[in-house]
Amino acid sequence: MDAHGFDKPRFLRLFAVAVYFFLFAPILVVILFSFNSIKSLNVFDGFSLQWYEEFFNDPTLRDSLFMSIEIAFLTMLAATVIGTALAIGLVRSRARWAPGANILMLVPLVVPEIVAGISALLIFSQVGIALSFWTVVIAHITFSISYVTIVVRARMASISQEVEEAAMDLGATRWQSVRLVLVPALWPAVLAAGLLVFAFSFDDFVLSFFTTGEESQPLPVRIWSAIRFQVSPTINAIGTLMMIVSLSAIALAVLLPRLFGRRESGLKVLTAQEG
């Protein structure tokens, strides 16, 4: 390791440690005060689970939690199938309009979420679809397809078409070669992308905010209303519970592909690095 360079590792290390602290301190504070025995966010009086009890005793909040999980699950399924197909098509198709599809796929990544939220709200109201659970799911799928496509396509780049051709030489149909050769090879990336989408969808606030109905609302929308009216340890408890759900999805996204893939980490798949 180079210990002299411009880089002055000692100073850099100190700086990096400070940044990690800056990133984690607020989160640790949220978790800590979710266990506070008094209703305070600056004096920790003692350990208690009362804010969690309050959360689970509130049927509206409980429903919102389950609703968020259902939305994330459906979004994950649909976006993974559509996004994977799109990735395969973008790499293999020679259609004249394929580059157009490529650009179209990239646009959602650069458009601020509020724009996507507004356009979804507008189209639903123009077509006459009442806002509901399903409008949230549709909006989430629209925004998630591109993530799946990017992650899966990065994986496609490292797969040679020759293996499929070999399968076809051995008598497989074109469709069988996709199902039996290509898809299994893509599986680690598909799985990781799906779980990533689950976490995105579960945490998403902006799209849900614009596309959800009045009666049932996803958890982040409830947090939004709660934060505006009061600051309470219940919000800390909800936040901590949400962390557990999304971090579980991410942990699976990193670990599961290892079981399927040879020795690559899900992290590499997720950050779309080569290999």
Partner 1 sequence: MTAGGFWNRFLVPGALWLVLLFLVPLLFVLALSFGYVDDLGRAVYATDLDNYADAFNPTYFPILLRSVLYALATTVLCLLIGYPVAYYIARFGGRYRNALIALLVLPFFINYLVRTYAWVALLADEGLINDALVNIGIIGEPIQMINTPYAVIGGLTYGYLIFMILPVYGSLERLDPAVIEAGKDLYGSRLQTFLHVTLPQTKQGILAGAVLVFLPSVGDFVSAQILGGVDTYMVGNLIQDQFFAANNWPFGAALTVVMMLFLAIWMIAYLRSAARDVRGAAI
Site for partner 1 (CB under 8 A): how many residues?
104
Contact pick of 61, 190, 238, 269 for partner 1 (by CB under 8 A) = 238
Q: Would you say 111 or 166 has its CB closer to partner 1? A: 111
The answer to the question of residue 220 lying near partner 1 (CB under 8 A) is yes
For residue 36, the SS3 value is: strand
* Residues 155-184 interacting with partner 1 (rule: CB under 8 A): 157, 174
Contact pick of 228, 259, 262, 263 for partner 1 (by CB under 8 A) = 228
* Residue with token string 């990133």: 23
Q: Are 204 and 220 in contact (CB under 8 A)?
A: yes
* Residues 23-42 interacting with partner 1 (rule: CB under 8 A): 23-27, 29-30, 33, 41-42
- Options 48-56, 57-65, 69-77, 232-240: segment touching partner 1 (CB under 8 A): 232-240
Q: Are 192 and 270 in contact (CB under 8 A)?
A: yes
Rounded to whole angstroms, the Cα distance separating 66 from 36 reads 25
* Residues 56-75 interacting with partner 1 (rule: CB under 8 A): none
The answer to the question of residue 13 lying near partner 1 (CB under 8 A) is yes
Give min distance, CB of 173 to partner 1, in A.
Answer: 10
Give min distance, CB of 245 to partner 1, in A.
Answer: 10
Where do runs of H (alpha helix) occur along the chain? 9-34, 50-57, 59-92, 98-110, 113-127, 133-156, 162-169, 174-177, 183-203, 206-211, 219-229, 233-260, 266-270
Q: Are 188 and 267 in contact (CB under 8 A)?
A: no
**Binding mask of the shown chain, residues 113 to 152, with x at each position contacting partner 1 by CB under 8 A:** xxxx-xxxxxx--x-----------xx-xx--x-x-xxx-
Q: Are 253 and 196 in contact (CB under 8 A)?
A: yes
The answer to the question of residue 230 lying near partner 1 (CB under 8 A) is no
Give min distance, CB of 180 to partner 1, in A.
Answer: 15
Among 123, 151, 153, CA closest to 138: 123
The answer to the question of residue 102 lying near partner 1 (CB under 8 A) is yes
Contact pick of 159, 172, 242, 255 for partner 1 (by CB under 8 A) = 242
Burial class (CB in 10 A: 0-12, 13-18, 19+), 10: exposed
